[in-house]
Amino acid sequence: MTKRTPLPPAEVTNNDPYSIRSIEQLFSLFDGGEFLSTFMSDHRDLLVELQDHNDQYGHKGAKGSFSISVAYELGGAGDLGMKISADFKGPKKPASNAAAYVDGQGQMTLYSPMMKRMHGGVRDVTPHDPETGEVRDV
């Protein structure tokens, strides 16, 4: 390993018209600017996905994120190889809900046991008028 003299503290100069001064400029280097365009489109899609989730399920769980990874590899001639990736995570759809009842035999059913008790048949109401069906006060 060769000994190198430390570089002086970096000074920002605006003399170099080729220097990269912003994240947007850096992102536009990848894939001829296609990465930046795709990233912005995916970011917009994430925001729309959050809004849709909020409309469908409410604000709980309306969370999303993105991660950007940039890897550098310095070559022997001072050239810098770069790789970038972006990972977007949208909100998770809540679990689906359902309801049923358990009957006396331990089987799942949609028929309520309370309804079974209510519909146990016609009750005998005595005393009543057999012609009109009117219940008589005793």
Letter for the amino acid at 46? L
Cβ neighbourhood burial of 28 (10 Å; 0-12, 13-18, 19+) = middle
Rounded-to-integer distance, Cα 50 and Cα 64, Å:
7
**In the chain, where are the structural domains located?**
23-89
Q: How many CB atoms lie within 10 A of CB 104?
A: 8
pTM: 0.61
pLDDT in tens, the chain (138 residues): 667 778 777 666 667 888 888 999 999 999 999 999 999 999 999 999 999 999 999 888 899 999 999 999 999 998 999 999 999 999 998 888 899 988 888 889 888 877 766 766 666 667 777 788 787 776
Give me the numbers of helices (H) and strands (E) for the chain, helices first please. Answer: 3, 4
Per-residue model confidence (pLDDT) at position 51: 95
